Amino acid sequence: MVRQPQPAAPARPAPERMLFGRGGFGPPGMMKPEKAKNARSTVGRLWGYLRRQAVTLVGVVVLVTINTALGVLGPYIMGQALDTYIGKGDMAGLAWLLQMLIGIYLVASLTTWLQEYTVAGIAQRVVRDIRTDLFGRLQTLSLRYFDQHTHGEIMSRLTNDVDNISMVLSSSVTNLISSVLSLVLVATMMFIINVRLALVAMIITPLIAASTRWLSTRTRQGFRDQQENLGILNGLIEETITGQRVIKAYGREAEATRTFDEANAKLRIASTRAQTFAGIGGPMMNMISNFGRMIVVCTGGLLAVQGMATVGMIAAFISYSDRFAWPLNQLGQLYNSIQSALAGAERVFETMDESPDLPDLPDALPLARIAGEVAFEDVSFGYETGVPVLKHVNLRAAPGQTIALVGPTGAGKTTVINLLTRFYDVDDGAIKVDGNDIRMYPKDDLRRKLGIVLQDNFLFADTVMANIRYGRLDATDDEAKGAARLANADQYIHRLPQGYDTILTERGSNLSQGQRQLLAIARAILADPDILILDEATSNVDTRTEKHVQDALLRLMQGRTSFVIAHRLSTIRDADQVLVVNGGEIIERGTHESLLAQGGFYSRLYHSQFKGQLAGAMSAEENA
């Protein structure tokens, strides 16, 4: 006996949605972003990526240390020049000191270039790893996540948020290290030269610390609000561009513009707030720095009058005072950039922390070739708790049988398919393939045995050949062309400008609906599935094209267990079983003829909705 696993918690998208992804103008009840994680946690995770570049990072630290030490040495040498050589008129000694300064600054320039070059490489490798991990996580998430987040919002995390991290890493890492080292070295030099002046120069430190802390929470929240509103705006733009046909068909251009203006205004307000607080930092630090310089000059003058300081010492101290304030000022400005990066990083890590809600079992059974026996055993399911979509569904399909699902919109037909493909897991009961619960199989293995042809199939912006080969990436050109011939697609493909090498535009919009359907059927034929799923596969094509599509579908269905959501009556008429779904239950089952003879729901549905279509289809077949 096969062990029955406990069902995973069901996903909760809107009921009876599209088989793949989300459609229309956004799902209802979109998830509100979770509260941001704390900065310490985010920094720790970013450090985890930086740690992979540990060796190179050590080299950067060495370069920055050399560069900073040389920069700190310059004011001391100039002070010595004033006191030792200029005051005594020692021109030879002064010339030697100038040569030393030139050498110091040349070496400093070289180390600056080297550290910038090295940090750029580190930043790009880190961002590559983050983007790879984020994209990889997206591939593991179920349809629930994509139902509840707009495409633009997801793209914003992959692009804008990651780019924010990239900019800060490439421009701020060396500045951060340099600023910290400068503080330490400059403070050390000031105490070595004159303790009293050093203590006076330190007066500005608490002021800068208090100012930075005041700005911290406001700046960080401002940048997070900015990133969130940017993601919303990107989602709206993507949605509006994709839905232009619907917008124009219903004359909703003004409404679309109004919605865009509202989202754009929210982004403007959030960005203004973030940039305002970010802009305050520089002037505030400059004011504090000028205040510190004034105190140093006044105190130094008093000490010089009393003979406790030399001119060179005071000149060096003024320079060191500026250099002490500069890294504090720089740290304050870096804080703003870092806050922007942390805001983006938090959003990226939020997505990385999303857990797949349909995990494979640790002891999942590898799935080889299957016979195609499918059974639903007392299956119940609901997208929302307490709102069942399927209720105690039982069905059995023998290998090679064709099962037609018929019923009104919202009855639960697509949900049956969603559960069979394990896009969602059942709440109660079990779905079995060849006698084993499908939760016992790895999802990838199961889905490789399923072929799906939808009402509106997705084609990639690639060649015709690549789109066919998507069904089986290791297929040869001859195998792909053979699949196209079986799908009745080969003839029209040869009429395209570059034949199989023709590049399709986004979603295959340079092909007709019928041509796209034939290409999708060719892709399914090449995949050679054991179980076939057809969801309204000919509903959007004209009668003549439908004949070619139907012939291709019949070839594809031969020898395979097939589930057909009603789209053509000849398929329903020839199906081994017709299941009538209504209100989440199978209320009638049988063959086309037996159900008509019963005079029940199917018969009424047939006579009210399908009879005219069948007459038109049969007439078209006779004239073809």
Residue 515: give its domain's CATH number: 3.40.50.300
Low-confidence winner among 97-101, 402-406, 500-504 (lowest mean pLDDT): 97-101
On whether both 286 and 407 belong to a single domain, the answer is: no
Domain count, the chain: 3
On whether both 470 and 425 belong to a single domain, the answer is: no
pLDDT score of 76 more than 70: yes
Q: Please provide the distance, in angstroms rounded to a whole number, between the alpha carbons at the two ends of the chain.
A: 53
Burial letters for 286-306: b for 16+ Cβ neighbours within 10 Å, e otherwise? eebbeebbebbeebbeebeee
Q: What is the pTM of this model?
A: 0.63
More confident residue, 316 or 624: 316
Q: What is the chain's mean pLDDT, rounded?
A: 77
Instruction: Give CA–CA dist 234/150, Å, rounded.
Output: 9
* Residue reference for tokens 């209320």: 587
Establish if 402 belongs to a structural domain. Answer: yes
Q: How open is the CA angle 512-514-519, to the nearest 5 degrees?
A: 95
Q: In sequence order, what are the residues at sequence separation of 6 or more whose Cβ sits closer than 8 angstroms to the Cβ of residue 162? A: 127, 130, 131, 134, 344, 348
Establish if 384 belongs to a structural domain. Answer: yes
Distances (CA, A) of 555 to 60, 483, 487, 558: 64, 11, 8, 5
Low-confidence winner among 193-207, 267-281, 453-467, 545-559 (lowest mean pLDDT): 545-559
Residue 105 is predicted with a pLDDT of 81
> Which domain-ending residue is among 299, 321, 352?
352
Give the number of residues written for the chain: 624
pLDDT score of 540 more than 60: no
DSSP, residue by residue, 474-518: T--HHHHHHHHHHTT-HHHHHTSTTGGGPBP-GGGTTS-HHHHHH
Residue 2 is predicted with a pLDDT of 37
Residue type, 258: R
* 164-178, 402-416, 450-464: range with highest mean pLDDT: 402-416
pLDDT in tens, 327-350: 766 776 677 677 777 878 888 888
**Secondary structure tally for the chain: helices H, strands E:** 22, 10
Instruction: Give CA–CA dist 468/463, Å, rounded.
Output: 9
On whether both 273 and 257 belong to a single domain, the answer is: yes
Residue 378 is predicted with a pLDDT of 92
pLDDT in tens, 487-538: 888 888 888 888 888 888 766 677 877 788 888 888 888 888 888 888 776 5
On whether both 130 and 227 belong to a single domain, the answer is: yes
Distances (CA, A) of 253 to 27, 195, 260, 264: 20, 71, 10, 16
DSSP, residue by residue, 62-97: HHHHHHHHHHHHHHHHHHHIIIIIITTT-HHHHHHH
On whether both 245 and 154 belong to a single domain, the answer is: yes
Residue 613 is predicted with a pLDDT of 53
* 47-56, 513-522, 605-614: range with highest mean pLDDT: 47-56
Instruction: Give CA–CA dist 266/226, Å, rounded.
Output: 9
Instruction: Give CA–CA dist 108/77, Å, rounded.
Output: 15
On whether both 71 and 140 belong to a single domain, the answer is: yes
Instruction: Give CA–CA dist 157/41, Å, rounded.
Output: 18
Residue 325 is predicted with a pLDDT of 67
On whether both 232 and 171 belong to a single domain, the answer is: yes
Residues linked to residue 430 through DSSP beta bridges, in sequence order: 377
Which whole number is the average pLDDT over 355-375? 81
Q: Are 460 and 466 in contact (CB under 8 A)?
A: yes
Residue 376 is predicted with a pLDDT of 92
Quick one: which H or E segment has residue 235? Answer: helix 204-242
Residue 567 is predicted with a pLDDT of 53
The pLDDT confidence band at residue 375, using thresholds 50, 70 and 90, is very high
Distances (CA, A) of 233 to 154, 229, 513: 12, 6, 31
Which whole number is the average pLDDT over 204-233? 76
**Phi, psi (deg, nearest 5) at residue 371:** -75, -35
Residue 32 is predicted with a pLDDT of 35
The pLDDT confidence band at residue 30, using thresholds 50, 70 and 90, is very low
pLDDT in tens, 103-128: 888 888 888 888 888 888 888 888 88
On whether both 395 and 310 belong to a single domain, the answer is: no
Establish if 68 belongs to a structural domain. Answer: yes
Instruction: Give CA–CA dist 418/181, Å, rounded.
Output: 59
Residue 615: Cβ within 10 Å count? 11
pLDDT score of 272 more than 60: yes
On whether both 476 and 549 belong to a single domain, the answer is: no
pLDDT score of 467 more than 80: yes
> Which domain-ending residue is among 528, 547, 573?
528
pLDDT score of 612 more than 70: no
On whether both 422 and 464 belong to a single domain, the answer is: no
Establish if 34 belongs to a structural domain. Answer: no
More confident residue, 399 or 541: 399
pLDDT score of 568 more than 60: no
> Residue 440 sits in which domain range?
367-449+531-624
Instruction: Give CA–CA dist 320/284, Å, rounded.
Output: 20
pLDDT score of 188 more than 80: yes
The pLDDT confidence band at residue 198, using thresholds 50, 70 and 90, is confident
Residue 484 is predicted with a pLDDT of 86
Instruction: Give CA–CA dist 357/144, Å, rounded.
Output: 9
DSSP, residue by residue, 24-36: TT--SSPPPPPPP
Residue 9 is predicted with a pLDDT of 38
Low-confidence winner among 245-254, 486-495, 583-592 (lowest mean pLDDT): 245-254
Residues linked to residue 532 through DSSP beta bridges, in sequence order: 451, 562
Which whole number is the average pLDDT over 1-23? 36
Residue 16 is predicted with a pLDDT of 36
At what angle are helices 91-140 and 162-193 packed, to 10 degrees?
A: 150
* Residue reference for tokens 């707030």: 273
On whether both 522 and 543 belong to a single domain, the answer is: no
pLDDT score of 4 more than 70: no
**Edge-to-edge order in the sheet of strand 374-381:** 390-397, 374-381, 428-433, 436-437
CATH code assigned at 179: 1.20.1560.10
Establish if 192 belongs to a structural domain. Answer: yes
pLDDT score of 41 more than 60: yes
* 19-23, 208-212, 482-486: range with highest mean pLDDT: 482-486
Establish if 135 belongs to a structural domain. Answer: yes
Which whole number is the average pLDDT over 183-212? 79
pLDDT score of 621 more than 70: no
**Which 8-state DSSP code applies to residue 321?**
H
Q: What SS3 state is found at 434?
A: coil
Establish if 23 belongs to a structural domain. Answer: no
Low-confidence winner among 190-204, 376-390, 433-447 (lowest mean pLDDT): 190-204
On whether both 247 and 117 belong to a single domain, the answer is: yes
> Which domain-ending residue is among 528, 552, 586?
528
Residue 21 is predicted with a pLDDT of 33
Instruction: Give CA–CA dist 160/604, Å, rounded.
Output: 55
Q: Are 489 and 457 in contact (CB under 8 A)?
A: no
Establish if 362 belongs to a structural domain. Answer: no
Residue 231 is predicted with a pLDDT of 77
